[in-house]
Structure 1
Amino acid sequence: MGTKINFLLLGFILSACSLSGCADKIKRNTPLTETALPSKKILYVQTEVCDPPSQLTGSCYNSLQRAIDVAHTVPSATHVTIEMAAGHYHERIVLSRGNIDIVGAGKNKTYVQYNLNAEQGKAYHRDGWGTPGSATFTINASEVNVSDLTIENTFDFLRNDSKDKTDPSKVRASQGVALLLDEHSDKVALYRVGLYGYQDTLFANGKRAFIYQSDIAGNVDFIFGAGQVVIENSRVISRPRGKAIASNEIAGYITAPSTNITDAFGLVFINSRLEREQGVADASVTLGRPWHPTTNFSDGRYADPNAIGHALFFNCFMDAHIHPARWSSMKGTAKDGSKTLVFTPEQSRFFEVQSFGPSGNDEVTTSYHSLSADSLREQALGDWNVSIN
């Protein structure tokens, strides 16, 4: 009883719900709050004119970012929940407040979308780096849960990719991040979400994240970075290119890990499905390539030699678009500034265990073979016990 009273005094729910469904949502979520009283402070976020039901008190917003800004004014020890109505929210989101849940109406109903490429994104990043600056949704905090919505970067990559290199209107920095897990992010869990883009869809630039029963779609290096990310029971969807691809040419790469050598795990896929959209040819996509980001050092600026990428596919279905070679090499910046360094899969930590389907391959025995899905997840995430719901 004391716990309930304490929560009622301190807890806040920031809700985004339709006019007809607010009361029902509060009732359905009573296990989260233990009780539902109109005296609770409730903020509504919906795409249309706000008019909260009379039985509930509080303010209403038609911007998710505005609700997040309000959440930043709540003491950090207080857990905050934002519930979003179905609809399309066209806005760039930055979340730097932890201890928060953001819940949509479903990944086919609630969409957070923004159109930004890496050329434009330079203006939005602290160091003028366009790739993370292009992100539709940035999380830079710990203990964040996001569920039941889709995050999409709507930059028209396909149209741009189809343009000739000599076309002055062609965007040269065509990366467009949907979700950025930034450097201070940790213990970020995503359930039943959609992450859609083309090049660089998911940038894992922080620490630990868990993605469950979700869809991640892109074509070039679309899951990348130095973070420790477990992607489980999810669909990893390769998308086509806009330009013509020769029959013997690699069209896309699923991962580009830059895991630091001191970290045992990087990008881990468990019991997931590697699928493709129409237009992606057989044997045209590899599982990944090693990214050694160009980094400033005391003796110059060059490819980080300590970024020994780790990627592991464990018990995953692989459709026929996966190339028999499995992995690719990637160029990096030499000390003289030229792109002459070549980093190979053999120099990286790339593993595949018990894959199956048209492109399945389980010929190589590694120490991971003896692990179960549960034990692998636990090892990859350390002392963070995630919820499987």
Structure 2
Amino acid sequence: MLPRVLAAVTAFAATFALAAGPAEAAPALAPAPEYQKASSPRGSDTAHGFASLAGGTTGGRGGKVVSVRTQADLVKYAGAAEPYIIRIAGAITMEPFGAEVEVTSNKTLIGVGASGELVQGGLQLKSGTHNVIIRNLTIRDSYVEGDWDGKTNDFDGIQMDSVHHVWIDHNRFTHLGDGLVDLRKDSDYITVSYNQFDQHNKAFGIGWTPNVVTKVTIDHNWFRGTKQRNPSADNCAYAHLYNNYLSAQVADGDPVWSYGNWARGKTRMVIENSYYRDVQHPHQADASAELVQRGSILRNTTGRHDAWGKAFEPRSFYSYHLDPAAAVPALVSRFSGPQRTIGVDTSLNVPADYPTVQAAVDAVPVGNDGRITLRIAPGTYREQVRIPVTKPQLALLGTGRDRTKSVIVHNTPAAYGGSSGSATVLIAASDVSVRNLTFVNDFDEAAVELKGEQALAMKTTGDRITFTDTSFKGNQDTLMTDSPKLNVISRVYIRDSYIEGDVDFIYGRATTVIDRSLIKALSRGSTTNNGYVTASSTWSGNPYGFLINRSRVVSDAPPQSYHLGRPWHPGGEPQAIGQALFRDTRLPAAVKDAPWTDMSGFSWKDARFAEYRTYGPGASVTDDRPQMSAADAARHEVGDYLAGQDGWAPHKES
């Protein structure tokens, strides 16, 4: 293998790291780059080629997401009238043998990782069906012994009749009853990419019509251990084949019907940079067809190598990336077929496919068992968002150049529904990650009728929640990290983020680490008391409450006018014994020399408040400033707060 080919394979296999830093923080932390998927079709969830034209192929986007593990559920959702994104997790054995599930319009069928399989059956798209994506599935084993020609049992992997806008990508078709894929009867705007066709006679046929209509892109597919139709294309208006790999053709001595690509009837076919190894008749054309071949590599091929006519120019229809023919065997053998990285994270795009963030949340299935990312485009979303406990494993990702570009904002105070009713966003689910977003509650705290009212930008009650490169903006009670009840421990990790407010603006009983972040204590115009940074209500049985670590507190308030915190006992609960540690954090002159204070009759001295190696104009050592010892500090590292019983360690991730 040439070194440059190996380098190309390595580059295409690499993933992109998401780097972030708070724009409001120290200048050394640069704004985050724009978050986008890789542009290569290998990693893209967007159709390319002919399937991308004339409105494109989006499948079930805009519909609900479902996970299926049974034939009955697959039949139900694949045949529904409304759009669905259907995740197939595990193998589904079809009954009766050879059964074909009907797929209707506006559907995405996608295997989860390498697990999604349809065994002893296949899929059928009937006349008029359109806008369908079929990805990352293995469809196998409907072959009936002795029926090599598929004349007795018409058990196709995918059969399409008079359909349009279909994308078939990263699937494996093997050992089936008739055609692995049959594209028939004037079907149009089709792309077939990165699939594996193997152990079969008739791999991929196109046509069954006298009309010259079909426009099809066929790229980066691997045909191995097949005999014919790799593909055969009959009466295609335009057939663009590039970077395909044909190898190990079935060698049964048939002088005619063992072949590679065949342009039949009036087909106009362009073949580019493909690789043929051990193939009879690698590319051939009828006298009435036109076939242009350029840049391909042929090794140990025999028979027909036809090329005549002008065919067409694919780039006059769409742009595409053409890999070197020498790289095709390595690239296609590595990247074709089902991939472990596809289908494990489903993307829901706001507002392109869902008009609001809440609409995207509503599309997530109850009991969600797969990662779903809500990709939130730049814009201001004035809405309240509720992520219920029944919808875990979500990721909220702002796709703008920095976190200020995607903003979720509302203005509800706690007078209307308490903290849960007030919060602009409420995350009750566990295993939720948030990145590159801003959350705001812009309620006017100076309003006469509700002066000084609580108004949350964010409330969490779930466990294992992370915020990275995120902003929280409000006044009183900006950010509440809580748990479902007093003696239940929930954990939250906040990194490279920005939090602002005045009274108790970081509060609750969840174990919460705020790491490498900027905290702004806003002035309320007082010269003596402008507010409190924290109000922890940690359960007495939990040694870990709030850790503000390697961060910076800033303020525009006058000197000696801010408290670091006070102990919150919700409803007078005596077992809510707040714990808060400011560690390796810079403090402003606004912080009082006696920075902790009592609350609702409870003394701060009974709480678990401390500092460790704080610095800056607001840091000092006095009798009213408990300093944690080095021995205790060794048990109050970030990992100690977050590990729990499951060893959760988000601070070690990129």
TM exceeds 0.5? Answer: yes
**Compared CA separation, residues 322 and 34, structure 1 to 2 (3 A):** farther
Distance 1:24 1:108 in 2: 13
Map Cα deviations across residues 242-265 of structure 1 (whole Å, 9 max, x no partner).
xx52x3x22100000010100011
Distance 1:329 1:24 in 2: 44
Distance 2:452 2:35 in 1: 46
Q: Is the 8 A contact 1:355 1:362 kept in 2?
A: no
Quote the offset at 1:362 in angstroms.
5.1
Could you say which residue in structure 2 is the equivalent of 1:216? Answer: 499
Quote the offset at 1:360 in angstroms.
1.6
Distance 1:271 1:69 in 2: 37
**Compared CA separation, residues 220 and 43, structure 1 to 2 (3 A):** farther
Q: Percent identity?
A: 28
Greater share of helix: 1
Distance 2:46 2:628 in 1: 56
**RMSD value, Cα:** 2.8
Could you say which residue in structure 2 is the equivalent of 1:137? Answer: 425
Quote the offset at 1:61 in angstroms.
1.9
Quote the offset at 1:62 in angstroms.
2.1
**Compared CA separation, residues 173 and 370, structure 1 to 2 (3 A):** closer
Could you say which residue in structure 2 is the equivalent of 1:292? Answer: 569
Map 1:239-254 onto structure 2 (within 5 A).
239-241=522-524, 244-245=525-526, 247=527, 249-254=528-533
Higher Rg: 2
Q: Does residue 522 of structure 2 align to residue 260 of structure 1? A: no
Higher relative contact order (CA 8 A, sep 6+): 1
Q: Is the 8 A contact 1:64 1:93 kept in 2?
A: yes
Q: Does residue 585 of structure 2 align to residue 316 of structure 1? A: yes
Could you say which residue in structure 2 is the equivalent of 1:15? Answer: none
Could you say which residue in structure 1 is the equivalent of 2:403? Answer: 107
Could you say which residue in structure 2 is the equivalent of 1:66? Answer: 359
SS at match of 1:324: coil
**Compared CA separation, residues 186 and 194, structure 1 to 2 (3 A):** same
Q: Does residue 435 of structure 2 align to residue 147 of structure 1? A: yes
Match of 2:38 among 27, 30, 49: 27
Match of 1:82 among 374, 377, 381: 374
Distance 1:187 1:202 in 2: 16
Quote the offset at 1:37 in angstroms.
3.6
Q: Does residue 395 of structure 2 align to residue 384 of structure 1? A: no
- 5+ long unaligned stretches in structure 2: 1-33, 48-57, 64-164, 168-346, 484-489
Could you say which residue in structure 2 is the equivalent of 1:355? Answer: 614
Q: Is the 8 A contact 2:408 2:440 kept in 1?
A: yes
Q: Is the 8 A contact 1:99 1:144 kept in 2?
A: yes
Could you say which residue in structure 1 is the equivalent of 2:71? Answer: none
**Compared CA separation, residues 371 and 329, structure 1 to 2 (3 A):** closer
Quote the offset at 1:368 in angstroms.
4.9
Quote the offset at 1:98 in angstroms.
1.0
Q: Does residue 518 of structure 2 align to residue 235 of structure 1? A: yes
Q: Is the 8 A contact 2:474 2:500 kept in 1?
A: yes
Distance 1:272 1:229 in 2: 14
Distance 1:203 1:315 in 2: 23
Q: Is the 8 A contact 2:511 2:545 kept in 1?
A: yes
Distance 2:541 2:634 in 1: 24
**Compared CA separation, residues 172 and 378, structure 1 to 2 (3 A):** same
Quote the offset at 1:283 in angstroms.
1.1
Q: Is the 8 A contact 2:610 2:627 kept in 1?
A: no
Match of 2:44 among 29, 36, 59: 36
Distance 1:292 1:34 in 2: 54
Q: Is the 8 A contact 1:353 1:362 kept in 2?
A: no
**Compared CA separation, residues 116 and 344, structure 1 to 2 (3 A):** same
Distance 1:109 1:289 in 2: 34
Map Cα deviations across residues 172-217 of structure 1 (whole Å, 9 max, x no partner).
57100110012xx000000000001100011111210000000010
Distance 1:34 1:269 in 2: 41
Match of 1:274 among 542, 550, 553: 553
Aligned pair count reads: 311
Quote the offset at 1:25 in angstroms.
2.3
* Structure 2 letter corresponding to 1:237: K
Quote the offset at 1:41 in angstroms.
5.8
SS at match of 1:290: coil
Match of 2:455 among 167, 173, 176: 176
Q: Does residue 393 of structure 2 align to residue 116 of structure 1? A: no
Quote the offset at 1:76 in angstroms.
1.6
Quote the offset at 1:366 in angstroms.
2.5
Q: Is the 8 A contact 2:414 2:455 kept in 1?
A: yes
**Compared CA separation, residues 41 and 199, structure 1 to 2 (3 A):** farther
Quote the offset at 1:317 in angstroms.
0.3
Distance 1:317 1:55 in 2: 57
Distance 1:282 1:264 in 2: 32
**Compared CA separation, residues 219 and 85, structure 1 to 2 (3 A):** same
Quote the offset at 1:170 in angstroms.
1.8
Map Cα deviations across residues 222-242 of structure 1 (whole Å, 9 max, x no partner).
00111100000001110122x
Could you say which residue in structure 2 is the equivalent of 1:335? Answer: none
* Structure 1 letter corresponding to 2:385: I
* Structure 1 letter corresponding to 2:559: D
* Structure 1 letter corresponding to 2:604: P
Distance 1:72 1:258 in 2: 33
**Compared CA separation, residues 250 and 80, structure 1 to 2 (3 A):** same
Q: Is the 8 A contact 2:612 2:629 kept in 1?
A: no
Distance 2:493 2:594 in 1: 28
Map Cα deviations across residues 40-93 of structure 1 (whole Å, 9 max, x no partner).
867479xxxxxxxx99999712201001111236x6221111111111000000
